[in-house]
Amino acid sequence: MTPEPAFLLHKRPYRETSAIVELLTLTQGRVRAVAQGVQRGGSKARGILQPYSPLHVTWSGNGELKRLRLLESQGSTALLAGEGLLCGFYANELMTRVLPLEYPVGEVFSHYALTLEALPSPAKRAGALRRLEITLLESLDMAPRFVDEHDAPLDAYTHYLYHAERHCFRAVAPGQGGIDGRSLKWLARGDWEAPGLAGVAKHVTRSALAPLLGERPLRSRELMRRLAERRRTS
Amino acid sequence: MAFSPLVDQLLETLRVLPGVGPKTAQRMALHLLERDRDGGRRLVASLGEALEQVGYCQRCRTLTETPLCTICEDARRDEGLLCVVESPADMLAIEQAGGYRGHYFVLHGHLSPLDGIGPEDIGLDQLDERLANGAIEELILATNPTVEGEATAHYIAEQLRGTGVRLSRLAYGVPMGGELEYVDGGTLSRAFNGRLPFAQESS
């Protein structure tokens, strides 16, 4: 095979000197492979095989678990630190939890790369993550449709709740919370990065992702929440 | 031909050690049984004793059979300096390199949300306590330069916000005697970002 652009999502030690890696690849989606010898001290690949670093890889094998062959770094790694790093963990955890193995998601790959570029600047973080989430949902046919349960367009003056099974919105009586139709109409136009809509956008993508994630919480989200709590109390 | 059940069992058991496969296990077992039974007995005794008695230091969490390890007991060490490392092996490496005269705190791991390892799994609550009742002036974050190590350092830094403790992180650099040409890009770019003023001669 010709070398394939890829990002490392996760690496865990396997046997003594190898690792099992989860990669996000351009044409094959999420791929799981054994990287032999990368945990050995002095292994050159060890420094290359790091999350957030653009890679070129090849692999062999027909089963679910491939064998990683060639590994090259391609360009410079996003220098993530602090909260940006935790957001990166979140993106990676989301990919490993939601994407089926070897399900091609080229769009997600490019948005993942864009997200990594955006993560170092705090102002761009939330928007980039929402964009990535929505691309992920679209590629899995789970994206929210901005209509009500009768497929009628949303009304700017009504409040809505997300209907997870039908991927649409359900009107709620006034005073019962929900999201205002006006914000949803903005989101429908693809305005996921607008600062004023950050809260609403987060709520919508989170509700839409919930059925894919199931009961088990995202550990990176948990970590960020605890850190925020700590910051408030200190 | 197979060995007797006891020998087989020994071969199987020896393989719990890292780096020991079937061949090595066989060599070890035959060596002990045929040539060095005394050595074998000493091995059993010291292994038994170590497993029975070695626990964690109450202050720094490194491996020791006493309540406090020798470093924590040492009155000559600087009480104001605390170095946070991921493993006892890292601590040993720093000790062997010499030059550091402060205390340590061993995490036994790093934060890794994707593996389900959170702050409580690496003793960060205990670190909190240590900082609350100690006279720590500077905390040195010596976690590994991996994304997990960085995340751990970040978390600890947030923990310390507003406490007045000075925080420092190990620098990234080019290995001694190394050649730039062969250093990986990540290390090189960080070494560049963290470049220091050129010191003419330390006065």
Listed residue (B138, B5, B151, B7) closest to B83, CA to CA? B138
Q: Which residues of A touch B19 (CB under 8 A)?
A: 16
Q: Of the given ranges (A45-49, B8-12, B19-23, B152-156), which has the lowest mean pLDDT?
A: A45-49
Per-residue pLDDT tens for A57-73? Answer: 999 999 999 999 988 88
B190 and A79: CB-CB below 8 Å? yes
Structural domains of chain B ordered from first start: 5-53 (1.10.8.420), 56-169 (3.40.1360.10)
Mean pLDDT on B2-13: 92
The residues, ordered by sequence, that sit 6+ positions from B151 with a Cβ below 8 Å of its Cβ are: A85, A86, A89, A223, B110, B111, B112
Query: What interface predicted TM-score (ipTM) does this complex get?
Result: 0.84
Q: What is the dihedral of CA B32, B36, B37, B39, to 10 degrees?
A: -90
Q: Which residues of A touch B163 (CB under 8 A)?
A: 234
- In one-letter notation, the amino acid at residue A140 is L
Per-residue pLDDT tens for B38-48? Answer: 999 999 999 99
- Give the model's confidence band at A53: pLDDT under 50 very low, under 70 low, under 90 confident, else very high: confident
Question: Is 80 exceeded by the pLDDT of residue B184?
Answer: no
Q: Which two tokens stand for residue A56?
A: 């070129």
Report d(CA B97, CA B76) in Å as an integer.
Answer: 18
B111 and A223: CB-CB below 8 Å? yes
pTM for this one?
Answer: 0.87
- Answer whether B186 touches A (CB < 8 Å): yes
Report d(CA A179, CA A98) in Å as an integer.
Answer: 25
B154 and A86: CB-CB below 8 Å? yes
Cβ contact A179:A160 at 8 Å: yes
